[in-house]
Amino acid sequence: MKKIVLLASCFLISCQDVSQSVSTSVSQVSLPDISAIELPENADAKKMTREYLGIMDKKMALATEIGRIETRDQYVREVFIDMFSDPNLDPEVRAQFQQAGGVYVQAIDEINTKELKIVMKDWTWRQLVESENRLAGRAFSIVQHTNDDAFQEETLAHIKPLAEEGLMEGQQYALMYDRVNLKKNGGKQLYGTQAKCVNGQHDVHNLSDPDNVNERRKTLKMEPLEQYLEELRELYGPCKDE
């Protein structure tokens, strides 16, 4: 299943008061005692089992934390998008629902950001990518949706060399680059990953050098912009011009 990337332009209202009312308490999970796992008799199987348990002992706590946060990040969007993407929905109803529901989405994002920052205190992006790329992708999804501009800009600086080395997907770098730069005064996006509503459908905006955008996307192994927009419009459905 594709990761849900909620359009940044949809929800620009403040959610500070709402987020303060949402509890951030999390029940602690007791993980299995690996010393209690019986090792196989076969020498090769025993070696593999020890290696596997060593990885689990080191990373399961990290996986539990990132996985929990990322599940929350995706679930709140899956339900939200399913509800407003109905093409038969009245445009005014859709717009007001997106406005109101977006408050809750942003409140969840604020909680997720705070928790991920705590997790990332013990890890650099390079360590995370090189040792457990699965978890790096999930952590990236959370940062992609944060309203913390400084956190996104800091993350962009860390993932740029990783993307250049092929350790992270080019699309991840493009998404973060466009979001960060669009928030700057007079900023423009390079890869056309960010859209807003134009004439009742989602379209790219503030795109630098549009004639060569597909060449830039190709260097990062991304699909052509036209295909991307087609998929985006199918996912989000009709919209109301901003």
> Coil, helix or strand for 202?
strand
- Give me the pLDDT at residue 132, please: 84
Neighbour count for residue 12 (Cβ, 10 Å):
11
**What is the longest distance spanned by two Cα atoms in the chain?**
68
Least confident of 64-68, 145-149, 232-236: 232-236
Q: What is the pTM of this model?
A: 0.77
Q: How confident is the model at residue 24 (pLDDT cuts 50, 70, 90)?
A: very low
As a whole number, mean pLDDT of residues 73-99 equals 92
Top pLDDT among 58 and 185 is at 58
- Give me the pLDDT at residue 20, please: 39
Q: pLDDT tens-digit profile of 99-116?
A: 999 999 999 999 999 999
Q: How many CA atoms, within 13 angstroms, populate the side-chain half-sphere of residue 12?
A: 6
Q: Are 162 and 145 in contact (CB under 8 A)?
A: no
> Which structure tokens are listed for 142?
């959370």
Q: How confident is the model at residue 52 (pLDDT cuts 50, 70, 90)?
A: very high
- Give me the pLDDT at residue 194, please: 94
CA–CA distance, 10 with 188 (Å, rounded to integer): 18
- Give me the pLDDT at residue 19, please: 37
Q: What is the DSSP string of 24-51?
A: ------PPP-GGGSPPPSSHHHHHHHHH
- Give me the pLDDT at residue 12, please: 32
CA–CA distance, 111 with 141 (Å, rounded to integer): 14
